[in-house]
Amino acid sequence: MLEKLRMLAVDIGGGTQDILLYEEGVPVENCVKLVLPSMTRIMAGRLARATRHKENVFLGGQLMGGGAVVSALKQHLAAGLQAYATPQAAKTVRDDLREVAAMGVQIVEQPPQGNYYGVYLQDLDLESLQQALELFDVGLPETVAVAVQDHGECIGKSNRKFRFEHWERWLAQEGRLSDLLYGGSGAAGALRAREVPPYLTRMLAIRDTAPGAFVMDTGAAAIMGGLLDPVVREHRERGLMIVNVGNQHTLAALIRGDSVLGIFEHHTGLLTPDKLRGYLRRFAKGQVSNQEVYDDQGHGCAYRGDAETAAAGGEDWLFVAITGPRRQLAEGLGYFAAPHGDMMLSGCFGLVAAVRALLRQ
């Protein structure tokens, strides 16, 4: 067991990557923190630059979050330019490489001949981060924890449904947020969480980039972080709803004690304040079905055991905590949580809490 935990926590979203260098014994307010553009946005910008300059592109590196990268790649192809990608990089676009090829991307094992603009895909760039921090005499810890949203690899099936099957299995196993921490070791020695499921390929790519890193779902990390707000913590035993309104995804959870009793997830861009309010009110009463959310182009909704019965009156879920960079969408629906006074670092604080919980076992 470490005497003092020192770790790098990185919460990677669709818009930003939020970074915390946590040092046990140092007030969190004095720890090094950064909010930077996500690698998805950075890579999309590089692709857009190649398109403007009318350059063909070669995508190498790792599977990473798609989002803006996929949109930029489609625009590049629509401009009549060539795109090449290794099989691993191409999985950023679709799990099924046949679908990637059908878009016009040429799947190759080696860079093509001739002139091209190379883009190395990765969700986590530790080398650049280390170079930047060294300018301020700050070194990276050996213990690393990273949060990403991983739909899971599935071919011939909706990845939204596949992701929710993962949530349902977890809910059936008591629904403890700390159980969604995977991997580990590094400077933590024997400290190790559950093995990363083989279908969570984005998390596995993070582990390839940073061997020994802990990995966790972004939504789970944000919720764990939101629970650290002292006002939120007061309601934990009675029961509360916490909502993380991210740049791309909105996740709500019904929580009592250490267990999650229900999960709701949708795409933020498809929600309006009124629509979100309606969903959350019915979610608190156990009245939202998985199929309804899926048909609305969201991910889904799932409850654990007798959660629907427990939530039927809605009285236990009157306290609603809101976090996330798009939290203004939920203005007026509840309390804006700010753990350690910094809402943008909620996911990083959640990662630290999950690793510390593992240390206490």
Q: Which fold has domain 234-337?
A: Nucleotidyltransferase; domain 5 (3.30.420)
In the chain, the N- to C-terminal Cα span, in Å, equals 10
Q: Where in the chain is the domain with CATH 3.40.50?
A: 39-121
Q: With contact defined as beta carbons under 8 Å apart, do 228 and 235 qualify?
A: no
- Within 13 A of 183's CA, how many CA atoms are on the CB side? 27
- Angle at the Cα of 87 from the Cα atoms of 101 and 17, rounded to 5 degrees: 105
Q: With beta carbons less than 8 A apart as the criterion, state whether 55 and 65 touch.
A: no
> Lowest-confidence range among 190-194, 206-210, 219-223?
190-194
Furthest C-alpha separation in the chain: 67
The better pLDDT of the pair 191, 18 is held by: 18
CATH 3.30.420 location in the chain:
234-337
DSSP track, 266-319:
EEGGG--HHHHHHHHHHHHTT---HHHHHHTTS-EEEE-TTHHHHTTT-GGG--
Rounded to 5 degrees, φ, ψ at 359 are -60, -35
Residue 248 pLDDT level (bands cut at 50, 70, 90)? confident
DSSP label of 176: B
pLDDT band at residue 312 under the 50/70/90 scheme = very low
Q: What is the pTM of this model?
A: 0.91
Question: Stretch 7-16: mean pLDDT, rounded?
Answer: 94
Supply 152's token pair.
């899971």
Contacts of 101 (CB under 8 A, 6+ apart): 107
Residue pair 286/309 in contact by the 8 Å Cβ criterion? yes
User: How many CA atoms are closer than 13 Å to the CA of 278, on its beta-carbon side?
Assistant: 7
- Fold exhibited by the domain 39-121: Rossmann fold (3.40.50)
Token pair 């582990």 is found at: 207
For residue 248, what are its two tokens? 């791309």
The tens digit of pLDDT for each residue in 123-178 reads 999 999 999 999 999 999 989 999 999 988 888 888 888 888 888 888 888 888 88
pLDDT at 153: 87
Tell me the per-residue pLDDT of 320-348, one tens digit each, with 9 for 90 and over: 999 988 999 999 999 999 999 999 999 99
Q: Please report which confidence band the pLDDT of residue 3 belongs to, taking 50, 70 and 90 as the band edges.
A: low
Q: Chain-wide mean pLDDT for the chain?
A: 90
Q: What pLDDT score was predicted for residue 159?
A: 81
Give rounded-to-5 percent helix, strand, coil for the chain: 40, 25, 35
Looking at the predicted structure, is the pLDDT value of residue 74 above 90?
A: yes
